[in-house]
Structure 1
């Protein structure tokens, strides 16, 4: 029995860059990693390293568009 796919996508859309949808689906480690990258990227954005981190999180967020349904269905 999985989590709600609809709720997982709502979390992905509104809080996706923070990794909340991954934490909801039981992927706490990768969710915390996504959260950390977003925070560090936001802090270091003025010195250009943040641009790279924010870009990585953005690509990861887009890839999760296709992975979130499966993660939600497999979550316990």
Structure 2
């Protein structure tokens, strides 16, 4: 089992969190790709108001990950 840096995971969370990069780094590839897809689709559909909901969901998910990232990085 590979241990990951908690500090690096939080740096990725802060700067690239909306793209799910921190989740991919911590080994949660599927949820990271889902977060990335929601962000991309949300940005593309933002002008027709559908994207507002997706980006809101990703924003809440990003805030929740503030408390989950340390555990994800430690467990690998």
TM range (shorter): over 0.9
* Corresponding residue for residue 16 of structure 1: 17
Q: Does 1:63 align with 2:55?
A: no
Aligned-partner SS, 1:53: helix
Q: Which consecutive unaligned segments of at least 5 residues does structure 1 have?
A: none
RMSD of the alignment, in Å? 0.6
2:3 & 2:31 partners in 1: Cα distance? Answer: 18
* Corresponding residue for residue 33 of structure 1: 34
The total of aligned residue pairs comes to: 75
Q: Which of structure 1's runs of 4+ aligned residues deviate more than 2 A?
A: none
2:25 & 2:61 partners in 1: Cα distance? Answer: 16
Aligned-partner SS, 1:31: helix
Q: Which consecutive unaligned segments of at least 5 residues does structure 2 have?
A: none
